Chain A
Amino acid sequence: MDTVLAITYKGGVVLAADQSNARSIISYQSNLDKIKELTSHSAMGVAGPNCDLVRFTEYIAKNLALYQLNHDGTQLSTKAQANFCRSELADALRKGPYQVNLLLGGFDEKAGPSLYFMDYLAALEKVNFGSHGYASSFCLSIMDKEYREDLSEEDALKIIDYCIHEIHTRFLISQPNFMVKVIDKDGVRVSKFGGDPADT
């Protein structure tokens, strides 16, 4: 049910995810933040059950923090982080799988922005844009048409807005609120959200 979208642009990555937390006929909350920050310059949009979302992202984030402490402050590159996630998913797959589909975006000083697509079977692929969930049926073609190598941040945010608009128009399940985050040289920041996660 979850929708996760992401697109890279020249200088960063935009991640977007819906904010609904529901099961069966009940809506638990509509301000859930499904884009978890891992390090100062990387974040992961997650589709899947809330328990796996929390357990997996916090486990990865703490291990990345440990790496930084052990290596005098150097951070792992986005590529390395993605590969670490993939290997954790693969190890757990035949024991107790994490049912999470991920879009991991990050910004490195040298490599610039990068986006990695992962699914719960531990597939990993570097992509320019991506989506998880039913949204893929609606949004992948939009991103395919609009994506170019030299997008600006404004362009990228506009494409995400097109996708969200399409979901609001054509997707059967109501997902009124979306969280949008941007990762660039200055780190991870919230661009906009429908529901404030801080509201209890």
Chain B
Amino acid sequence: MSYDRAITVFSPDGHLFQVEYAMEAVRRGSTAVGIKGKDCVVLAVERRALAKLQEARTIRKIVSVDERSVLAFAGLTADARVLIQKIRVEAQSYRLTMEDSPSIDYLARYLARTQQQYTQRGGVRPFGIASLFCGVSSDDGAPELYQTDPAGTHSRWKAQVIGGRNAKSLREFLEKQYQDGMEETACVRLAIQALLEVVDSGAKTMEVCVVRRGGKKETMEEDAIETIVKEIEAEQEEKRAPAAAASGGDSEYV
């Protein structure tokens, strides 16, 4: 018997197959990395190679949600568009009724609640996206990073990866490299370094955005990303070079 036809049905061993299939859709999406530092949060997203005739500048992977928050997603782009619209309207609605800006926690909870609602209703399928939602709650608030998934869970992270086949190994990489209270330059570097593990080298393959304490958002210019990429690669070359010299020039250390 197939227990994955209607979302409302549990399987005998307690699985919600539609939700798990949605998570598979997330794995097919492009990788997104989020790193929280002392005074900033950095989002770096893989930009997959486009078709030649496609206009690159119309594909924006890191979107503004509210004045002081941004969101990156992994998974089905169309589903993401719908969810992003919902959360944007909710943020403005909150501002209209409460005359105050919504906290990052509130919006992350709203996002997660919406995703969960689509796992417990007849006739609908879950959203095939996981998201990294980050920003600052107020002008003097600390930076926050949240992750949501198709099941509708949300949790706060210091650093997280979503999407792509290598999310697990990237997470381990981050666990080794992450340090509490990093400055912005260190955060940006770590985010790009993590992404370089899965994307082809080059600034054109990634989009990087920083949200700082105080609420200022900045999308990094390609040149700036390129500089950091070259620095990281030069460093890696140096690490490799002595090993090559020692083993006689032919190194399997890639």
The yes or no answer to B88 lying at the interface (CB within 8 A) is yes
A73 to B60, CA, bound (A): 13
The residues in A between 71 and 89 inclusive whose CB is less than 8 angstroms from any CB of B are 72-73
Contact with B along A49-73 (1 / 0, CB 8 A): 0000000001100110110011011
The yes or no answer to B205 lying at the interface (CB within 8 A) is no
A58 to B93, CA, bound (A): 11
Judging by beta carbons under 8 Å apart, are A65 and B85 in contact?
no
The residues in B between 84 and 98 inclusive whose CB is less than 8 angstroms from any CB of A are 85, 88-89, 92-93, 95-96
Judging by beta carbons under 8 Å apart, are A62 and B88 in contact?
no
Judging by beta carbons under 8 Å apart, are A69 and B96 in contact?
no
A63 to B95, CA, bound (A): 11
Name the one of A62, A72, A73 contacting B92, with C-beta atoms under 8 angstroms: A62
Name the one of B60, B85, B96 contacting A62, with C-beta atoms under 8 angstroms: B96
The yes or no answer to B23 lying at the interface (CB within 8 A) is no
Residues of B within 8 A of A59 (CB): 96
A66 to B66, CA, bound (A): 9
Q: How large is the interface on B (under 10, 10 to 19, 20 to 34, 35 or more residues)?
A: 10 to 19
The yes or no answer to B170 lying at the interface (CB within 8 A) is no
A63 to B89, CA, bound (A): 9
Judging by beta carbons under 8 Å apart, are B96 and A66 in contact?
no
Q: Which residue of B lies closest to A55 (CB)?
A: B96
A61 to B64, CA, bound (A): 18
A6 to B95, CA, bound (A): 29
Judging by beta carbons under 8 Å apart, are B85 and A70 in contact?
yes
Residues of A within 8 A of B66 (CB): 69
A73 to B64, CA, bound (A): 9
Judging by beta carbons under 8 Å apart, are B92 and A63 in contact?
yes
Q: Which residue of A lies closest to B84 (CB)?
A: A70
Name the one of A58, A63, A69, A73 contacting B65, with C-beta atoms under 8 angstroms: A69
A71 to B49, CA, bound (A): 24
Judging by beta carbons under 8 Å apart, are A66 and B89 in contact?
yes
Contact with A along B60-91 (1 / 0, CB 8 A): 10001110000000000000000001001100
The residues in A between 7 and 54 inclusive whose CB is less than 8 angstroms from any CB of B are none
Residues of A within 8 A of B96 (CB): 58-59, 62
Q: Tell me whether A62 and B95 are in contact in the complex, defined as CB-CB below 8 angstroms, given that A69-B88, A70-B85, A70-B88 are known contacts.
A: yes
Judging by beta carbons under 8 Å apart, are A69 and B95 in contact?
no
A58 to B92, CA, bound (A): 10
Name the one of A63, A65, A69, A72 contacting B60, with C-beta atoms under 8 angstroms: A72
Contact with B along A105-123 (1 / 0, CB 8 A): 0000000000000000000
Residues of A within 8 A of B92 (CB): 62-63, 65-66, 69
Q: How far is the CB of A148 from chain B (nearest CB, A)?
A: 41
Judging by beta carbons under 8 Å apart, are A66 and B60 in contact?
no
Residues of A within 8 A of B93 (CB): 62
Contact with B along A149-165 (1 / 0, CB 8 A): 00000000000000000
Residues of A within 8 A of B65 (CB): 69
The residues in B between 153 and 183 inclusive whose CB is less than 8 angstroms from any CB of A are none
A62 to B65, CA, bound (A): 13
Residues of B within 8 A of A65 (CB): 92, 95
Contact with A along B36-80 (1 / 0, CB 8 A): 000000000000000000000000100011100000000000000
* Smallest CB-CB A-B distances: 6 pairs: A62-B92, A66-B92, A62-B96, A69-B88, A69-B64, A58-B96
- What would be 21 A-B contacts, judged by CB atoms less than 8 Å apart? A58-B96, A59-B96, A62-B92, A62-B93, A62-B95, A62-B96, A63-B92, A65-B92, A65-B95, A66-B88, A66-B89, A66-B92, A69-B65, A69-B66, A69-B88, A69-B92, A70-B85, A70-B88, A72-B60, A72-B64, A73-B64
- B interface residues, Cβ below 8 angstroms from A: 60, 64-66, 85, 88-89, 92-93, 95-96
Besides A62-B95, A62-B96, 17 other CB < 8 A contacts? Answer: A58-B96, A62-B92, A63-B92, A65-B92, A66-B88, A66-B89, A66-B92, A69-B64, A69-B65, A69-B66, A69-B88, A69-B92, A70-B85, A70-B88, A72-B60, A72-B64, A73-B64
